Amino acid sequence: MFNLFGALHYDKRMVDKYDKATRSRMMAAVRSRGNRSTEVRLAKLLRKHRLSGWRRQYPIHGTPDFCWPKSRVAVFVDGCFWHGCPRCRRAPKSNQAFWEAKVAENKRRAKEVGRILRKQGWVVIRIWECQIGKPSTIRRIAEATIGTVLVDGSRDKRTNGGTNGVRNRFIPRQAARALRYTR
């Protein structure tokens, strides 16, 4: 097919060998792993702060991003766009009804997964993508997994962390639960 100027012109519509329902089912089955802005960044921070014992994509309900099976702690990193962060999410201007319903469904599913895991005895921590680099994020995870953390954020010598000679008071596990951020 040629356009008005005699140049060869191709139809811009994509030719798909699958019908719409089959393509939708195939695309819905695609699962993302190793998201650079969230999971990989948090993994680097966990290594930097010498928090060990975690597993990625552990096969429990909801498939948490990070999991400490021995401590029964599950960490989910929620993307600000996909889960509707109240601080930084900017809603798309087009197709607003679809996106609002999508985010509402993601929030509902996250709540349900958290409820089920808590019933099974897990400690569930949810972290916003924009909050990953904050010291409070690592501190919340450390308090849940280690049980006692020094006030300055370092670990007790009994947990192989060392304090570099600094004397501090301890935060018991019960107090750590009260400090934990929940949505």
pLDDT tens column, 146-172: 875 545 555 444 444 444 443 344 444
pLDDT higher than 80, residue 79: yes
Instruction: Provide the pLDDT confidence category of residue 84 given band limits of 50, 70 and 90.
Output: very high
Cα Rg, the chain, nearest whole Å = 22
Spatial separation of the C-alpha atoms in residues 148 and 37, rounded to whole Å = 29
The whole-number pLDDT of residue 27 equals: 84
Q: Which pLDDT score is estimated for 140?
A: 92
Q: How high does pLDDT run on average in the chain? A: 79
Q: What number is the average pLDDT over the span 124-139?
A: 93
- Mean pLDDT lowest among 49-63, 75-89, 107-121, 143-157: 143-157
> Helix, strand or coil for residue 47?
helix
Q: Are 1 and 11 in contact (CB under 8 A)?
A: yes
Instruction: Give the residue from 65, 58, 69 showing the smallest Cα distance to 82.
Output: 65
| DSSP structural state of residue 132 | T
| Percent of the chain surpassing pLDDT 70 | 70
Contact partners, residue 146, CB within 8 Å, separation at least 6: 51, 155, 156, 159
- CATH topology classification for 34-179: Endonuclease; Chain A (3.40.960)
